Structure 1
Amino acid sequence: MCCSVGFARSLGLALLPLALCCIIANLLLLFPMGEITCIQQDRLASYIWYFGGLGGGGLLMLVPAVVFITLGKCGCCWNQSLMMCGSVLAAVIGLLGSGYCFVMSGFALMQGPQCYTNYGWSYPFADHAGRYLLQPETWTRCLQPLHIVEWNVTLLCVLLGLAVLEFILCLLQLGNGLVNAVCRPCCYKQEYSLNA
């Protein structure tokens, strides 16, 4: 049990910086190139407003991180088993949060940024099914804000990577928690019968 609690705590400590990075990346998406004009004029891509990094990969991910870190603080065995089951629930919340972050970031990448082109404000890459990502020469269609495509692609790829890491960590704890929730009572029964 001590090993599984230590493992869960290390996963929680790993989730904290990932969640903070998701929050920062999502906030940077709201202010392209550090400017506030896009948010003031409502010129941000629609999927950015779903806050995949801020809500899913960030704030929601703090739940499993805190649960994993505080796991096993009580010395009572029954409470430790209950806490391990609670960590399974927290891991499921983390899986949902990281999944939401991944999906929203993927949709935002496929849609591309909203920018000013020769034909006015539009989504010039929305009908390309993400092919523009492999054609950087087409990114110059966006005249304003400057380098908006590079800004969005970089931050959204960061969010995708962070979401995958968070998903893997929560999946590891889900397996760890389930194994301990199922096997721990069996081990106690065997130990009791040996002592008897």
Structure 2
Amino acid sequence: MCTGKCSMCIGITLYPLALISIICNIILFFPGWDVKYAQKGQITEEVKKLGGLVGGGVMVLIPAVHIHMTGKHGCCANRCGMFLSIILSAVGVAGAIYSFIVALSGLLNGPYCDVGNDYWTTPFKNEKADYLKDRALWEKCTEPKNVVKFNSGLFSILLLVSLLQIILCGIQMINGLFGCLCGTCRDKDKPRQTNITVTSAVNVSL
């Protein structure tokens, strides 16, 4: 596949992934679908680190725009555009890695919740038991409602999305390197089509 077309495919694919990452991070601020917890600051610590919003969102969205636009300039774009896409893709990889680490930490530590008598803590942090496998442990969190399921589901999505972003941005770094070294490639069919048209016109006139 031409490096330009590859860039366009990667850029277009990164758009929804970045959007999903941003939406998931925003939703995580409203456990139990209630705004009162965000107002009181009773939010899981990993949510406040904005891994999905900044890392998997903004830091991936900016490279995605450039990668997509680079693919539009001719078949393989230009050496300068491809070189810049390598740098921006590295930024995207860094952002996606940050989102991945935050999401993984959020899954391992578990949610910040009320365990009774208005005592808020992270009950599953540093525990030997795997709360993700033992759903009976989820009852420790009395508030927000279904917060364990809520957090684990969204953090799992962020984990998967960030992994895909790392792979795609990594591919673009390699693709950009080829585009930078090989330069632009033009559509070679156009001159041939022109020659055929001219030849046909001459034959008709004769």
TM-score class, shorter-chain normalisation, is 0.7 to 0.9
- Give how far 1:118 is off: 2.7
Task: Give the TM-score, by structure 1 length.
Answer: 0.87
Give the aligned partner of residue 110 of structure 1. 108
How many residue pairs match? The answer is 184
- Give how far 1:184 is off: 4.1
Question: What is the distance in 2 between the residues matched to 1:93 and 1:175?
Answer: 14
Q: Looking at CA atoms only, which structure, 1 or 2, has the larger radius of gyration?
A: 2
Task: Give the TM-score, by structure 2 length.
Answer: 0.83
Q: How does 1:1-196 map to 2 (within 5 A)?
A: 3-74=2-73, 80-118=78-116, 120-128=119-127, 131-184=130-183
- Give how far 1:129 is off: 5.8
- C-alpha contact (below 8 Å) 2:3/2:178 kept by paired residues: no
SS in 1 for 2:88: helix
- RMSD of Structure 2 on Structure 1 (CA): 2.1
- C-alpha contact (below 8 Å) 1:111/1:130 kept by paired residues: no
- C-alpha contact (below 8 Å) 2:7/2:71 kept by paired residues: no
Q: 1:80 to 1:183 in 2, by over 3 A?
A: closer
Question: What is the distance in 2 between the residues matched to 1:32 and 1:110?
Answer: 18
Percent identity over the alignment is: 33
- C-alpha contact (below 8 Å) 2:56/2:99 kept by paired residues: yes
Give the aligned partner of residue 194 of structure 1. none
Where is the helix percentage greater, Structure 1 or Structure 2?
Answer: 1
Question: What per-residue deviation string (whole Å, max 9, x for no partner) do you get for residues 89-140 of structure 1?
Answer: 1110110010000001111111111111135111110122672112111001
Q: 1:101 to 1:45 in 2, by over 3 A?
A: same
- C-alpha contact (below 8 Å) 2:52/2:158 kept by paired residues: yes
Question: What per-residue deviation string (whole Å, max 9, x for no partner) do you get for residues 139-180 of structure 1?
Answer: 011001110000000000000000001111101111111123
Question: What is the distance in 2 between the residues matched to 1:56 and 1:70?
Answer: 21
- Give how far 1:74 is off: 4.6
Structure 1 residue runs of 4 or more that deviate by more than 2 Å after TM superposition? 72-75, 179-185
Question: What is the distance in 2 between the residues matched to 1:51 and 1:8?
Answer: 27
